[in-house]
Amino acid sequence: MDRPVIFVTTEYGPSRAEAALRERGLGKIEPGLLNFIDAYSETVGLSVSDRPDTVNASCADLSSVGIAISKVQDKIGRKGISLVFDSLTSPYLLSGSEVVRFMRLTLSRFAGEGNSVLVCFDEGSGKEEDLVAMMSLSNGVIKAETEEDRWLLRVLKHPEVRPTRIEVPVEPERAGLEMRVFNPGALEQFVQAGWRRDEAFLRSELGDYVNLFWPNLAHWSGMLWDPKRFPRMTYEANKDDWPSMFKLSKEDEAIKRALFPRRVWLLIKLFMPKNLSKVKDMKKLDKFLEFFAQMRVGIAEYLNDVSKTDEHYIRIHECSDCWGFENIGTVMASFIPPMIAGFSKGLEYWKGLDRDWNAVETKCIGLGDPYCEFKLVPGEMDELRDSLEKDVPVIERIHERLMKRLMGFLLEGKPLMQSRVRLGNDINLHPVWHAMGGEGIPAMGVAWSERYRMALRMGGAKAGKTVGERLMEAGIGEGEAVKRVLDFLEHCKAGKVAVAETIKMSEGCESLWTKFYKKEFYRWEAPCCFFTTGFLNGFFSAVKNQHVKETKCIGMGDPYCEWEFT
């Protein structure tokens, strides 16, 4: 800290950045040496920083970031400033190739004035030609990758250091659900309501089902931000659900009673095998597969005629992840395959066998097949990583199809998609929470959870901004545009919305999962409508040049969620 620093944050706020620096040894510093530009909070609808060392901007508006840099530079009044930009991924998501021009005109000019610039960018989040252009503008490039117990740093380009590889050990983060956070009573009521097929346990007016378009929009908007890690995080979170539940049920009788009605528990205890390797034993999971049809996420059937020992095949009809994405060019299912893999792992663990299971989709509506199908095996799968990771053009194609369907609904009143024949287009809140960063988040651990939420916030800002811009281009007035988007939210059963001086949403689907946690352990100190807030903020910034921030939230113990205009 012998030179001034301007730290631009687009993925978190200044307080978190400073805390991370202090964890790494930052001691007492002279006033004016460490300065922040918060380009995150305003972008995703969070309260902006009220700190004397911070200037606020929006990473959706690169000119505002450039102005903020100049403002802080003038305040410092000297050369030799270090500018740290963490990261350019979010501005790229919102502005595309304009980021390359920003680097060339703003950051290169700043460096040319006797300063230095360090820019971070997530490889795989942009077009290859744009990444090449960014790297060509830099005189040094370091590629950083993570493994379970280490960082791998590869110096690819540097004016003084030869290409080299550096390994930095890190302590793996402990993740998983904890028994103490659950409210067994609330959990039991929700599960029992599901077995009774009670559709309005949590939401008396809207019911406990949501149009599948809304969680799919959230999922694929988050994928836009982080194509490599977001699908892996989703898979692991969905897969961990059942192993965690079986583990908690083994440790706590109240949790067991809450999750498994007596007849279900007796079925598991008396008839479920310890080892699921054989076809005749895996076939016994047919009753569990009915659970997915009950939640309306798909009709699953075990294919005993093509399955064999340690290689099982399951077919899904009317899969909610894939419906409406015919011939999109990739496999789509993100909920049922990892859930069944997790159930297999959890059941064997409860029976005394500790081994992993994984699943990979082999047929999909997204590939043009009439149904989806996946392979389930114990242990690792070489093809799983390639199946999960998506190329940017594929994700953009998926997101564009969502946008076209949404604009058809908003402009012409067309259906969001053709209705499924047997299940309709509503799905239970449980898979909705998984898609929108709710129930599965604790299983990821703190660092991954924060990254997942941030991807949803930024993806929501991108989706809302796109919708607002397209409505404006179509000649829809501000008031009418707002009305149509709020009608869309109610059509999807995201919540009941009212707009006056604030936006108020009762029975909002995104944060209701917090009802199952004991408030003394898991009551949120901040709002947790990650995608919805990002979406509203992106939309209103495009349509009315206004930003919103969530000031009340069900997750904080409030009776409804509310957003104020800023």
What percentage of residues in the chain have a pLDDT greater than 90?
A: 60
| pLDDT tens track for 282-319 | 998 887 898 899 899 999 999 999 999 999 999 999 99
Domain annotation covers residue 121? yes
| pLDDT tens track for 183-203 | 777 677 777 666 566 667 788
For the chain, what is the domain count? 1
Closest CA to 289 of 367, 348, 231, 344: 344
Closest CA to 155 of 234, 145, 146, 147: 145
d(CA 289, CA 276): 15
| pLDDT tens track for 119-146 | 999 887 778 899 899 999 999 999 998 7
Q: Which residue has the higher pLDDT, 198 or 98?
A: 98
Domain annotation covers residue 561? no
Domain annotation covers residue 124? yes
Domain annotation covers residue 60? yes
pTM summary value = 0.88
d(CA 564, CA 493): 21
| Average pLDDT of every residue of the chain | 88
Distances (CA, A) of 223 to 45, 396, 470: 20, 9, 21
Domain annotation covers residue 33? yes
What's the pLDDT at 263? Answer: 75
Domain annotation covers residue 499? no
Domain with 28, as residue range(s), is: 5-138
Burial 279-288 (b: 16+ CB within 10 A, else e): beebebbeeb
**Res. 332 pLDDT band, cuts 50 70 90:** very high
Q: What is the DSSP letter of 49?
A: P
Domain annotation covers residue 490? no
What's the pLDDT at 273? Answer: 83
Residue 68: CATH number of its domain: 3.40.50.300
What's the pLDDT at 522? Answer: 47
Q: Name the token pair of 120.
A: 């971070």
**Res. 262 pLDDT band, cuts 50 70 90:** confident
Pairing of strands 150-157, 357-363: unpaired
**Res. 181 pLDDT band, cuts 50 70 90:** low
In the predicted structure, residue 438 carries a pLDDT above the cut 70: no
Q: Which residue has the higher pLDDT, 490 or 186?
A: 490
What's the pLDDT at 175? Answer: 52
Distances (CA, A) of 121 to 97, 100, 137, 324, 374: 13, 12, 13, 32, 34
Domain annotation covers residue 23? yes
Query: Using an 8 Å Cβ cutoff, are 316 and 331 in contact?
Result: no
What's the pLDDT at 286? Answer: 84
User: Sheet harboring 164-169: ordered strands across?
Assistant: 141-147, 150-157, 164-169
